[in-house]
Amino acid sequence: MAAGVAPVISTECLNKQLKNRSSSVTVLDTTWFSSKDAMSEVFSKKHIMNASFFDLMFGVQNSKVYPRNLPSQRMFEINVRGSAVNTDSHVVLYDATGKCGFFTAGRVWWMFKLFGHENVSVLDGGLEKWVANGYETTNMSLKKREGDFSVKGINEVWIKRFDDMKDNLTSKNFQVCDSRTNELYKHGHYPGSVNIPFFSLMSEETRSLKSVSQLKNIFADTGIDLTKPIVTICNSGMSSCTLALVAHMCGCPHVAVYQGGITEWKFKGGPLLECEI
């Protein structure tokens, strides 16, 4: 695993860190919905004490080809600083999307890695588990001093683009894992990719991520070798980020996300394979 803190943190561990005044932890609520405003509908009603709201679509130019696009380096830096994050912060992300805390938080985890910040973790179980465990929440928002976080460039090891994916059809430089549902995968997927649906990574019983041993077995059962490079893919670069996080947590030394996803792949004429349903 690369340098930095563990990619996933428990509610118990975060609660202890928040009580430690010397801790550098900064908590961000990354909840986002395409159909409603997460700030007014969720964060303003209930969030973890001292958390800041982080809009992952701040300054983003979306389009039909890139419906979940990335911000520029400058826009990301402004957004992160506005969320009171410093260069030395241990950033803990959570969401309240009802997907065990990993959907948008996984995406923002990958964004921090991409923009060069290693000390970032996702809260296992998200706000749902935090509340279930009896830890404190509030509806009050505190005004905070702007952070000194800075982006020093793109860490290219975390991202793949269309040309990389096209070249891989013949070079086979990396394995490709698709995090979409089984049905979407069967209706058209990147040639040679294997399907590891986002929800297969979660435990319905605990409403959190499965154990590392269980997750390793999931990769093994699909024929994926965790000692070799992996690229994750979905429709537009959302759930694939959590799959990348999980591969990273399971010890894969080279993990990246194809951020353009199937949407860009199809638009640019990339071939798709179908399976019988």
Given a cut of 60, whether residue 3 has pLDDT beyond it is no
Confidence of residue 275 (pLDDT cuts 50, 70, 90): confident
Cα separation of 101 and 129, whole Å?
8
Superfamily of domain 8-138: Rhodanese-like domain (3.40.250.10)
Sequence-distant (6+) residues with CB within 8 A of 174 are 160, 168, 228, 229, 230, 231, 254, 256
Of 235, 248, 105, whose CA–CA distance to 179 is shortest?
235
**What contacts 40, CB < 8 A, 6 or more positions away?**
none
β-partners of residue 251 are none
Closest Cα to residue 230, out of 124, 146, 157?
Answer: 157
Q: How many helices (H) and strands (E) does the chain have?
A: 10, 14
Residue of 232, 241, 202, 257 whose CA lies nearest to 107? 241
On the question of pLDDT at 215 being above 50, the answer is: yes
- Express each pLDDT in 131-153 by its tens digit: 999 999 999 988 889 999 999 89
- For residue 77, the SS3 value is helix
pLDDT for residue 79 is more than 60 = yes
| Torsion region of 244: left, alpha or beta (phi above 0 gives left; psi -120 to 50 gives alpha) | alpha
Structural domain boundaries of the chain? 8-138, 156-267
Which CATH number describes the domain made up of 156-267? Answer: 3.40.250.10
Name the catalytic one among 234, 241, 250, 252.
Answer: 234
The pLDDT, as a whole number, for residue 2 is 40
Shortest CA distance to 49 belongs to which of 133, 138, 134? 138
Both tokens of residue 129? 């588990």
Amino acid identity of 27?
Answer: V
pLDDT for 276 = 67
| CATH topology match: 8-138 vs 156-267 | yes
pLDDT of residue 41: 94
- For the chain, what is the radius of gyration of the CA atoms? 18
> Tokens in use for 42?
């969720």
The span from the CA of 122 to the CA of 113, in Å, is 12
234 is catalytic: yes
The DSSP element (H or E) to which 18 belongs, if any, is: helix 11-19
Confidence of residue 23 (pLDDT cuts 50, 70, 90): confident
Residues 111 and 116: their CA atoms lie apart, in Å, by 9
DSSP secondary structure of 170-222 = HH--SEEEE-S-HHHHHTSB-TT-EE--GGGGEETTTTEEPPHHHHHHHHHHT
Q: How far apart are the first and last CA of the chain?
A: 36
> What CA–CA distance (Å, rounded) separates 86 from 147?
5
The pLDDT value recorded for residue 1 is 40
